[in-house]
Chains A and B, each alone.
Chain A
Amino acid sequence: MREVYVAGIGITSFTRLEYPLSEIAAYPAMLAMKDAGLSKVDHVYVANMGSGRLNHQSGLASAVVDSLSLTPAGAETIENGPASGASAIKQGFMAVASGLHDVVLVTGAERLREVNNLEATDCVATLTHPLAEYIYGVTLPSLAAMFTRLYMQKYGVTERHLAMVAVKNHDNALLNFYAHLHEKVTIEGILDSPEAMTNNPYVAEPLRFFDCCPVSDGGACVILVSAEVAKKLGKPLIRLAGVGQATDTHCVHERAEPTDLLAVRGAAAQAFKMAGVTPGDVDVAELHDAFTILEIVESEEVGFFKKGEGHLALERGETRLDGRLPINTSGGLKAKGHPVGATGVGQAHEIVLQLRGEAEKRQVKDARIGFTCNFGGFGNNVVCLVFKRED
């Protein structure tokens, strides 16, 4: 296998965007090409989940490759639910590693706000089992809520721990220009004050409004290249050193231990093995906190903390920007936003910024190894990536 490097990155604000989906995909791609100093690519992957259903557009990659005037380069749309972004990066990795292509552009884009939030939630809920989950009104927040209740009972996680994730990630997002929510929140305001139930009502008990990510539009792009190309471009050498992917049962109720996220565990283990590093080597990580509970549980399943102890590390401040292992420096899905197909690419974007030392006010000092976890379905399809700075 050939080594694969990230030569360029680009991103839009994650927010409500009033321009067409194909432009949301193309704009970060233009920025990434400028960043890399490239005007031609061999292949384009576009990560997206909802274009057919939400935006009445199919074959998104064909529209994007032409809009970028990159024809006749090959182009494909990759749909893998909320893990579409990292899945598309994995496809790009395979294309370069195999020797098939030297320069691959991976852009993720989503325009959820073309519909209202209930329809957007319903669109994402079509990931669930059609006959055994979806028909009952099961949505991703409700699966996360049922999971949270079990986790609280088994490991002593409380609403306060969940709120601490929200406070931390909102604080980080204040330092990220591209984040969806620039809004400082406090434990008092969302949990303790008399107004807390108004500020922070239940969405799916025990999860509240501030435990759930916003519904965002947005796009993000990374350009993956071979070592030969990377060395010619003269950018900091950031290698995509490990990719891992694992799946789990479609129905959450079929999992032997319902508090385990085995696909996260499996995907992370593969990615670390390929990269030749351990979870203890990681300097900065982006985890898929579509719900606050997920940041805590993923931090355990990927191996940063022991099972059932993620919330204790959070209490100790270890995952804060100034902690031992900063998690979700971008603001995470919680506050940076969750434009579904773009999310995994957005996570990679943040890690590359950190490893290049370009993360400005939220820069983690001397970050050399970064990790992302992109969580599809309710943990039924997970892709993890490890990035290494090599110069």
Chain B
Amino acid sequence: MALEILAYRCKKCGELHYPLRMVCKKCGKNAPHEFDTVPLPKRGKLLTFTTVHNLPPDFDVAKLTLGIVELENGLRITGQLKIPSPKIGMPVAGKVEVVREADYSKNYGMVFYPA
């Protein structure tokens, strides 16, 4: 089964959110479990990025590239980039992979590659 990152669609007005919030940002519908989940698209274009040289202790690498991607449906996501020389606006494609391991637990998130 392919791993997915989920977006949350308001059952009342259809507004999509990522990440999950408790109350819809658009219509203010205030009731528990009022969101349907839909997988986030994996393709989009790179909005901005940085290569970080000063990482938290959990990361056993010298540097890591992070970025914000505007996905095909207009939602944005923050993720890691495995792209040698990223450019603003370039098309990218994501995979769900382990992004952080801490205290014997694995955190999965979106990692983007050149599309």
Contact = CB atoms under 8 A, between A and B. Distances in A.
Interface of A: 117-119, 121-122, 125, 129, 131-133, 135-139, 141-142, 145-147, 149-150, 153, 201-207, 251-254, 258
B52 interface: yes
For the complex, would chain A's binding face be called helix, strand, loop or mixed by DSSP majority?
helix
B114 interface: no
Interface residues of B, number: 29
29 contacts: A117-B54, A118-B55, A119-B57, A122-B56, A122-B58, A131-B19, A132-B18, A132-B19, A132-B78, A133-B78, A136-B78, A136-B99, A136-B100, A137-B100, A139-B55, A139-B56, A141-B54, A142-B66, A146-B50, A146-B67, A149-B49, A149-B88, A201-B53, A203-B52, A203-B53, A204-B52, A204-B54, A207-B50, A251-B19
A253 B68 contact: yes
A149 B57 CA distance: 25
Given A149-B88, A202-B53, 5 more contacts: A118-B54, A122-B56, A137-B58, A141-B54, A146-B48
B48 to A, nearest CB: 4
Interface string B79-115: 1100000001000000000011000000101000000
A137 B99 contact: yes
Contacts of B100: 135-137
A146 B68 contact: yes
A129 B19 contact: yes
A253 B77 contact: yes
Contacts, number: 99
Interface string B13-29: 00000110000000000
A338 to B, nearest CB: 15
A253 B78 contact: yes
Contact of B109 (A117, A136, A139, A252): A136
B99 A135 contact: yes
A263 to B, nearest CB: 16
A149 B80 CA distance: 16
A51 B74 CA distance: 40
A129 B5 CA distance: 15
B51 to A, nearest CB: 5
Question: 10 shortest A-B CB distances, which residue pairs?
Answer: A145-B50, A122-B56, A253-B76, A132-B19, A135-B107, A146-B48, A204-B52, A204-B50, A205-B51, A253-B68
B78 A251 contact: yes
Contacts of A121: 54, 56
Contacts of B56: 118-119, 121-122, 125, 137, 139
A371 B78 CA distance: 34
A207 B49 CA distance: 12
B77 to A, nearest CB: 6
Q: Which of B58, B77, B78 has the most CB of A within 10 A?
A: B78
B51 A153 contact: no
A142 B88 CA distance: 16
A142 B50 contact: yes
A200 to B, nearest CB: 12
A205 B54 CA distance: 11
B76 A145 contact: no
Nearest to A119: B57
Interface in B58-79: 58-59, 64, 66-68, 76-79
Contacts of A252: 68, 78
A132 to B, nearest CB: 4
Contacts of B18: 132, 254
Given A118-B57, A136-B80, A253-B78, A205 B68 contact: no
A55 B52 CA distance: 27
Contacts of B19: 129, 131-132, 251
B111 to A, nearest CB: 9
Nearest to A151: B48
Given A132-B19, A149-B49, A138 B54 contact: no
Contacts of A258: 47-48, 68
B48 A204 contact: no
Contact of B76 (A118, A147, A254): A254
Nearest to A133: B78
Contacts of B48: 146-147, 149-150, 258
A201 B66 CA distance: 18
Nearest to B61: A137
A129 B19 CA distance: 9
Contacts of B77: 132, 253
Q: Which of A125, A136, A254 has the most CB of B within 10 A?
A: A136
